[in-house]
Amino acid sequence: MNVKEVLDSEELTFAEKILTMKQVEPKSIKRAGEIAVVSVDFAAGQDGTTPLAIKVFEEMGGERVWDPSKILFVIDHTYPSSSVEISNLHKLMRTFARKQGIRVVEGDIIHQVILEEYAVPGMLIVGADSHTTTHGAVGAFATGIGSTELAAVMLEGKIWLKVPSTIRVCLEGSLSKGVYAKDIALSVIGEIGADGANYKAIEWTGEALSRLSIESRATLCNMSMEAGAKDAVVEYDAVTEKYLRELGRSPMAIVRSGRKAEVEDELHVECSKLEPMVAIPSRVDNVRPVREVDGTPIDQAFIGSCTNGRLEDLIEAARILRGRKVKEGVRLIVTPASRRVYMDALKLGILETLLEAGAVVTNPTCGACVGTHLGVLGEGEVAVSSTNRNFVGRMGHPSSKVYLASPATVAASAVRGAITDPREFL
Amino acid sequence: MNVIRGRAWKFGDNIDTDVIIPFKYKARTIDPRELAQHVMEGLDPDFPNKVRPGDVIVAGRNFGCGSSREQAPLAIKAAGISAVVAESFARIFFRNAINIGLPVLEVKGILEKTDSGDVLEIDLREGTVKNLSKGLTFRAAPMPDMLMEILKEGGLVNYIKKRRARSQ
């Protein structure tokens, strides 16, 4: 099997190519449906999953991890800790990491850290967090795993993966003002359903991508998980190249999906026809245009998370909030995805705009998205949120309700105190 | 572990990991027994008290969608549930269940023909689910050999331990 032939093949999908190349014993080409045992280039875990992985690693008889330089622990879900019990689990992570020589990042969201510091095209990333799919934004194959699997990867550096079949989503035309990558993702999930891409890969393609930043692409790949996707990817292009150059990183391999590759389904999205969208409680695939729920009163508006807590998200929110005030009685919580995002927003004066409008700006963390701290919803409360899940009880009490939307829609809704189409303010 | 017999508890489509075990509980403990006290609480607050060892969860499409939390199948297993039978599973939940040794079977058409309280008999080797109360037999989607082996060992921990012991 010749690596160059695999890379050049017009018959193989991105997933088929990369999983073929990463095999521990690369003897044959692996097609969709086949199981490949692959070497992992990078593995990560967060505070909701890693403590269990450490326990299992020890149960497996593990002493030293396979390669500490390829493992990252991130304490992001509840940071800084909000209880003694959580603090003890964080301690467990720090102690194990120190012993093994593993880096621990505290506060910044796991997927933002990997995006800012590690992910490169052609890398195989596994993360004990479902939204690991995010890193397809730079052309990596990245997928979510559980704690026991993270333990096995920490021990041996390899994992079995079934090669997924592929759904291709072609984005055509340009987004109009007030419509964002989040609206594309919600609209696609609404169309294919919460299990529409279960066990499958999503390849985001089309000329509209050339106008979407790595941050927007990260939103698309992150939300792909909400349709069940195993991985999602945007092909390497000039935008990726520029992003990596500015960060001083270079690709492991540039893997392009074959033009004649067999895909399971192909969807076309005419971006110019899209409008701001929301996912209605309590399903991510219950998606409607914002105007259909316009005026629904809210208690809380949240901008943050691995989906939409990046600089461009804060910039869009600030564009709407500049010179306006958050409605009295409504709380707007802004949680930057990382210290870098926080500092950049600070330098650009974005935080000042948000604070003047009446927002609470928290430290970087997953925060309100996971319903343990920094904005837990009370009984029957309603939130509009730039996050990725609106399941029952996700952000607080089981009777609370979450509408998912773009940061711009969240910001506009905070001003009016009710769900609002952001185009009214742009 | 080859033949399992238990009462069915019926749930619908898209049962997500946040209702199986909310983050607020799994954030603070990795003890499966503690997690089991809150299993499925989002849908039925009394479920942890009603469930008996050996019972089976029967559900619709995309069971276990959402987060990668292994605490979801762990809580189910620790509550005494012996298997989950569903029309389909979300992929990470499916992997996690196998890896912790919780049998999961994909059976098309089962939801509609099962009521809570029916007695089910599951033969993992044969891949069949019998509804003894209704006299119906269903066939599960075949499981790849590698996964069956992991399940037979009671999960990935034993599977890896054994493999490593063999290679030393």
Work out the end-to-end distance of chain B between its first and last CA atoms, rounded to an integer number of angstroms. 28
Mean pLDDT, residues A236-252 taken together: 97
- Neighbouring C-alpha atoms within 13 Å toward the C-beta of A342: 17
Q: A316 and A374 share a domain? A: yes
Mean pLDDT, residues A251-264 taken together: 97
Sequence-ordered strand ranges (E) for A185-327? 201-205, 231-234, 265-270, 277-279, 287-289, 300-304
Token look-up 């990382």 returns A338
Sequence-ordered strand ranges (E) for A350-421? 360-361, 382-385, 401-404
Residues of B in CB contact (< 8 Å) with A are 14, 16, 18-19, 22-24, 26-30, 42-43, 61-62, 65-71, 74, 88, 90-92, 95-96, 99-100, 144, 146, 155-157, 160-161, 164
Tell which wins on pLDDT, B165 or A296: A296
Which residues does chain A have within 8 Å of residue B74's beta carbon, measured at their own beta carbons?
Answer: 52
Q: Do A195 and B62 touch (CB under 8 A)?
A: yes
Per DSSP, helices labelled H in chain B are 17-20, 23-26, 32-36, 47-50, 71-78, 91-100, 145-152, 156-167
Q: A9 and A44 share a domain? A: yes
Nearest C-alpha in B relative to A391? B18
Selecting from B14, B43, B68 the residue whose C-beta is nearest the C-beta of A144 gives B68
Domain boundary among A217, A244, A269: A269
Q: A286 and A193 share a domain? A: no
Q: What is the pLDDT of residue A292?
A: 98
Q: Do B157 and A148 touch (CB under 8 A)?
A: yes
Residue A83's domain comprises 3-269
Q: What is the pLDDT of residue B25?
A: 86
Read off the pLDDT band of A53 (50, 70, 90): very high
- Count of the separate structural domains present in chain A: 2
Q: Do B27 and A147 touch (CB under 8 A)?
A: no
Mean pLDDT, all residues of chain A: 97
Q: How far is B135 from chain A (nearest CA, A)?
A: 31
Q: Do A144 and B146 touch (CB under 8 A)?
A: no
Nearest C-alpha in B relative to A196? B62
Q: How far is B56 from chain A (nearest CA, A)?
A: 22
Domain boundary among A269, A297, A328: A269
Distance CA B135, CA B142 (A): 22
Which residues does chain A have within 8 Å of residue B40's beta carbon, measured at their own beta carbons?
Answer: none
Selecting from A52, A86, A398 the residue whose C-beta is nearest the C-beta of B71 gives A52
Q: Do A195 and B90 touch (CB under 8 A)?
A: yes
Across A23-27, A69-73, A342-346, least confident range: A23-27
What chain B holds in terms of domains, given with CATH numbers, is 3-167 (3.20.19.10)
CATH number for the domain including A72? Answer: 3.30.499.10
What tokens does B147 get? Answer: 């996964």
pLDDT tens digit sequence for A264-287: 999 999 999 999 999 999 999 999
Which residues does chain B have within 8 Å of residue A151's beta carbon, measured at their own beta carbons?
Answer: 156-157
Distance CA A272, CA A275 (A): 8
Q: A248 and A355 share a domain? A: no
Selecting from A59, A198, A389 the residue whose C-beta is nearest the C-beta of B157 gives A59
Selecting from B23, B43, B164 the residue whose C-beta is nearest the C-beta of A370 gives B23
Q: A–B: how many Cβ contacts below 8 A?
A: 128
Reported ipTM: the value is: 0.92
Q: Do A392 and B42 touch (CB under 8 A)?
A: yes
Q: A227 and A352 share a domain? A: no
Q: A23 and A136 share a domain? A: yes
Q: A225 and A350 share a domain? A: no
Nearest C-alpha in B relative to A45? B68
Most A CBs within 10 A among B91, B94, B96, B162, hence the mutation to make, goes to B91
Read off the pLDDT band of A157 (50, 70, 90): very high
Does the pLDDT value for residue A401 go beyond 80? yes
Q: What is the pLDDT of residue A27?
A: 85
- Within 10 Å of residue A52's Cβ, how many Cβ atoms? 27
Nearest C-alpha in A relative to B101? A148
Q: What is the pLDDT of residue B22?
A: 86
Q: A231 and A291 share a domain? A: no
Does the pLDDT value for residue A161 go beyond 80? yes
Does the pLDDT value for residue A59 go beyond 90? yes
Q: What does residue A170 show for φ and ψ, rounded to 5 degrees?
A: -95, 120
Selecting from B30, B92, B155 the residue whose C-beta is nearest the C-beta of A130 gives B92
What is the pLDDT tens value at each position of chain B, 168 positions in all? 579 999 999 999 999 999 999 888 878 888 999 999 999 988 899 999 999 999 999 999 999 999 999 999 999 999 999 999 999 999 999 999 999 999 999 999 999 999 999 999 999 989 999 999 999 999 999 888 888 999 999 999 999 999 888 887
In Å, the largest CA–CA distance within chain A is: 65
Distance CA A255, CA A26 (A): 17
Q: A259 and A292 share a domain? A: no
Q: Do A391 and B16 touch (CB under 8 A)?
A: yes
Does the pLDDT value for residue A178 go beyond 80? yes
Q: What is the pLDDT of residue B1?
A: 58
What tokens does A21 get? Answer: 């190349």
Mean pLDDT, residues A371-392 taken together: 97
Q: A214 and A72 share a domain? A: yes
> 3-state DSSP call for residue A282?
coil
Q: How far is B85 from chain A (nearest CA, A)?
A: 17
Q: A245 and A287 share a domain? A: no
Mean pLDDT, residues A176-181 taken together: 98
pLDDT tens digit sequence for A92-140: 999 999 999 999 999 999 999 999 999 999 999 999 999 999 999 999 9
pLDDT tens digit sequence for A15-33: 999 999 999 998 899 999 9
Which residues does chain B have within 8 Å of residue A385's beta carbon, measured at their own beta carbons?
Answer: none
Integer angstrom CA distances of residue A315 from A322, A354, B82 = 10, 10, 50
Domain boundary among A224, A251, A269: A269
Q: A221 and A358 share a domain? A: no
Q: What is the pLDDT of residue B26?
A: 79
Q: Do A89 and B90 touch (CB under 8 A)?
A: no
Q: Do A129 and B68 touch (CB under 8 A)?
A: yes
